[in-house]
Chains A and B, each alone.
Chain A
Amino acid sequence: MPVDSPPAPQPPLVLDTLANPGLPSDECPRRARIQLDLLLLAIEALDLGGSEAMLGTARDLGLEGLVKGRVHLWLLRGTNPMRRYSQRQPLNIEEAKALVIIICTLARRLTVVVRQLLVGYQQLSDKQLSPEHHFRLADYLSRFRSHFRARMNPRRAGVIAYSSDEKLDELALQLLQELLLCAGVLGPQRLWNSLFDGEVS
């Protein structure tokens, strides 16, 4: 029966769509923590109000129990080992689920922009032009670079790999593509399962 508006999702219902991956422990693997934080970083670079939007989304989806405000969100993102102020505490599965839902919701909102940027990049690279010729794309890339450099610990081996502008641009475009793939109907499930590729037994 068609309804005018979807019922307000309860936190367990939102998270129930994501099956537990069957890891030996309740903690997220390293690659998942990096991936989630980088996707959030890309969202911030795309949308100036990104960090506010993350908190707003968490509130709208009733995830305040898992993402308890700005500082807690910062702590959760700090579980990324590449961070300057990396947290030693683990990211547990439920918190990771909440981050996945937030990322996918924001990615869906930003779908139009992401598509434009990717189409623009595709056209530029077909003509063998650099991304600087696309105003919004260049804007996104430079903002991503400055976010990345401001927050990541330059002495970490994982960060040294991105020391040049070209490498960072490549990472930013890669994340843009991933955001688009997250934006679909089944985006959350796809992203969630991809986090544990090669980690489950």
Chain B
Amino acid sequence: MTVQRQYTLPHCNLVLEGLSADANDPLSPLAVLMNAECHLPGATDATLAGGREFLDSLVTAVSRYGQQLLSGVPHPRTTGSAPPMVEIKPGDLPYHHHLIVQQQPLGDRVNDVNALPPLDIQLTTVQFYDLMEAVDQLLADTQTLPDMKAQFQAVSRRLVRPTEPMTKRAAPAALGAAALAAAGLALFFVPPPEFEPTRPESEASAPAAASAVPGEPPRADGEETSEAVAANGDDLDRLEGAPAITDAATIALLQSDVTQRLQEAWADAPRPSGDLAYRMAVSEDSDILGYQYENDLALEEVDNTPLPELTFVPVAGAEPVRERVAQFVATFTPDGEVRLEPTEAPAETDASEADTSEADTSEADAAELPALEDKVTDGDRIRELNSDLYDSILAELEPLSANEDLRFRVRLTETGEVVGYEPVNAAAGLLANETPLPNLVTAADSTANQADFQVVFTESGVLEVNPWDGWPQ
């Protein structure tokens, strides 16, 4: 007995016809499906019809597409197989869907002559929903085709194509690599930082202080150590700590003397192709203590110059120079001339050159003090010395032009005579002559027990004197 089952929704009408399994029971399920028809009023006038194969394909397509709309993950079609009879694809516009049905002429085999183009039906979301609901109701209905069950299955991770294409995912890594390469290229042109080894402060100043005390006789080994420089000839590093000769007349004398000696020694040497410039240090008795090339040609041609011969070869070790030196730049020109020019004098020596006599005394007195050997240890004596020093400075103190504190270290003998003083800060060094200190120095070469005091002329004009090592207990 033929049975018809119908699922009706506003935009979809699904009609199934088949043979009932039990002729007497109108509700018995279909044993054989003869025809399935699907009308989509509002979307198309055509009737989609087919047998079991069409129905299976329709159910699969609708279920999968419904799930795809919910999750946004497309269900991949198995590759290699023929396109299914029914296929649903998202439309160009949002909320439009394309139902594509391969049409097959009834009763004939498909060939080139009678093949029909696939039917393309555009559905809105609501129309698609009705189609899906009709199919779902069929699936849920156990009294029509009980063998047809809903087959929901989440899409496997392996079948999902990444949402971003490979190129887009690789972009951050590529960008990083490119940035690294660009940075590397840019840094390639930056020169490596030049490392200049500098002598620690204490090491540089201590020996210099030792040699410059007024009145102290030059140490016996002073000259030997100072010549240590020339061991490598072109190394002036050890001369950096040496005090500079600041007397303009002395410098001029040294200049002409050394020039003459170099000129004579160089008379019959081969002429260089360009200027050879050397920086050199000369001691007060016009010995060349060291030199250093200033240009690359000078380094190559150094053996053709008289410098290696004339340079004093030191006897012992590479100790820093303690002698006073003058620095010159010697230029050997291709014409066979030797020019010698003093390097720029330090700023503070300019002032002392202007007034030589005063500069000499003040320089001698204001030079750095040697380490104290025989200290005054009597606390009462130190207190007395402190107050005496205070009184004697105050007696001659005149208003100073300083705009900051002037800080001095003043050394007294046990009997109260001033041995010397040393500026502690830069302003004190510049303005030492304004203070009464230079006139107070009376016992420059005393060897008696001594004590150091800190003397501060504050900016506001207040005089402060206290023992250097703190008040005795």
Interface residues of A (CB under 8 A from B): 19, 21, 31, 35, 115, 118-119, 121-122, 125, 170, 173, 177-178, 180-186, 189-201
Q: State which residues 152-184 of B face A: CB under 8 Å.
A: 152-158, 160
Task: Determine whether the beta carbon of B126 is less than 8 Å from that of A115.
Answer: yes
Chain A residues closer than 8 Å to B157, beta-carbon distance: 198-201
Q: How far is the CA of A186 from the CA of B140 in the complex (A)?
A: 8
Chain A residues near B155: list those with CB within 8 A.
197-198, 200
Asked if B70 and A181 sit within 8 Å, CB to CB, the answer is: yes
- Shortest beta-carbon distance from A102 to chain B in Å: 16
Does B150 count as interface, using CB distance less than 8 angstroms?
yes
Whether A181 pairs with B132 at a CB distance below 8 angstroms is: yes
Distance (Å) between the CB of A144 and the closest chain B CB? 17
Check B125–A177 contact: CB distance below 8 A: yes
**Do A186 and B95 touch across chains, with their CB atoms under 8 A apart?**
no
Q: Does B113 contact A (CB under 8 A)?
A: no
The 10 closest A-B CB pairs, nearest first, are A194-B70, A194-B71, A197-B73, A196-B154, A197-B71, A198-B160, A193-B152, A197-B155, A186-B136, A185-B136
Distance A192 CA – B71 CA, assembled complex (angstroms): 10
Convert B37-81 into 0s and 1s, putting 1 for each residue whose CB lies closer than 8 angstroms to a CB of A: 000000000000000000000000001001111111100000000
> Quick check: A177 and B71 within 8 Å, CB to CB?
no
Interface residue? B137 (CB, 8 A): yes
Chain A residue, CB-CB nearest to B154: A196
Please tell me if B266 contacts chain A, counting CB pairs below 8 Å.
Answer: no
CB distance from B265 to the nearest CB of A (A): 80
Known contacts A184-B136, A195-B154; can you find 7 more A-B pairs with CB under 8 A? A118-B125, A119-B124, A119-B126, A177-B69, A185-B137, A197-B67, A200-B155
CA distance A118 to B11 in the complex (A): 14
Q: B215 → chain A, closest Cβ, in Å?
A: 78
Q: How far is the CA of A81 from the CA of B136 in the complex (A)?
A: 33
Secondary structure at the B interface, as helix, strand, loop or mixed, is helix
Provide the residues of chain B in CB contact with A181, threshold 8 Å.
66, 69-70, 129, 132
Query: A115 vs B127: C-alpha distance in the bound complex, in angstroms?
Result: 10
Q: How far is the CA of A125 from the CA of B95 in the complex (A)?
A: 10
Min Cβ gap A37→B in Å is: 15
Partner of A184, one of B72, B132, B152: B132
| B95 in contact with A118 (CB, 8 Å) | yes
| B187 at the A interface (CB under 8 A) | no
Tell me, rounded to whole Å, the shortest Cβ–Cβ distance linking A22 to chain B: 8
On whether A195 and B71 interact (CB within 8 A), knowing A185-B133, A186-B150, the answer reads: yes
In the complex, the answer to whether A190 meets B95 with C-beta atoms within 8 Å is no
A186-B136, A189-B150 known; A194 vs B95 contact (CB < 8 Å): no
Whole-angstrom distance from the CB of A40 to the nearest CB of chain B? 15
Q: B70 near A191 (CB under 8 angstroms)? A: yes
Q: Determine the chain A residues whose CB is within 8 A of the CB of B124 once the complex forms.
A: 118-119, 122
Contacts of A35 in B (CB 8 A): 71
Residues of B within 8 A of A198 (CB): 71, 73, 154-157, 160
B152 is contacted by which of A178, A180, A190 (Cβ under 8 Å)?
Answer: A190
Residues from chain A with Cβ under 8 Å of B129 in the complex: 115, 180-181, 183-184
Q: Taking each of A21, A122, A201, which has the highest tally of chain B beta carbons within 10 Å of its own beta carbon?
A: A122
Chain A residues whose C-beta falls within 8 Å of the C-beta of B126 in the assembled complex: 115, 118-119, 122, 180
Query: What are 26 A-to-B residue pairs whose CB atoms are below 8 Å?
Result: A19-B152, A125-B93, A125-B95, A177-B69, A177-B125, A178-B70, A180-B129, A181-B66, A184-B133, A186-B136, A186-B140, A186-B152, A189-B152, A190-B67, A192-B152, A193-B67, A193-B153, A194-B70, A194-B73, A194-B154, A195-B71, A196-B154, A197-B71, A197-B154, A198-B160, A201-B158
Q: What separation, in Å, do the CA atoms of A170 and B93 have in the docked complex? A: 13
Q: A177, B67: Cβ atoms under 8 Å?
A: no
Q: How far is the CA of A125 from the CA of B66 in the complex (A)?
A: 22
What's the nearest-Cβ distance from chain B to residue A62, in Å? 22
Q: Do the beta carbons of A122 and B95 come within 8 Å of each other?
A: yes
> Closest residue to A189 on the B side, CB-wise?
B152
Q: Are B70 and A182 within 8 A (Cβ)?
A: yes
Q: Cβ of A192: which chain B residues have Cβ within 8 Å of it?
A: 152
CA distance A186 to B154 in the complex (A): 15
Contacts of A194 in B (CB 8 A): 67-68, 70-71, 73, 154
Smallest CB–CB gap between B98 and chain A, Å? 15
- Give the complex CA separation of A115 and B124 in angstroms: 11
Closest to B93 in A: A125
Across the interface, B95 reaches (CB within 8 A) one of A177, A199, A200, namely A177
| Chain B residues whose CB sits within 8 angstroms of the CB of A180 once the complex forms | 125-126, 129
Query: Nearest Cβ distance between residue A200 and chain B, in whole angstroms?
Result: 5
**Chain A min CB distance to B22 (Å):** 16
Nearest residue (CB) in A for B137 is A185
* CA A198 to CA B50, docked complex, whole Å: 33
Instruction: Say yes or no: B154 contacts A190, CB within 8 Å.
Output: no
Say whether A121 contacts B95, CB under 8 Å.
yes
Q: Is the beta-carbon distance between B136 and A173 smaller than 8 angstroms?
A: no
A35 to B67, CA, bound (A): 13
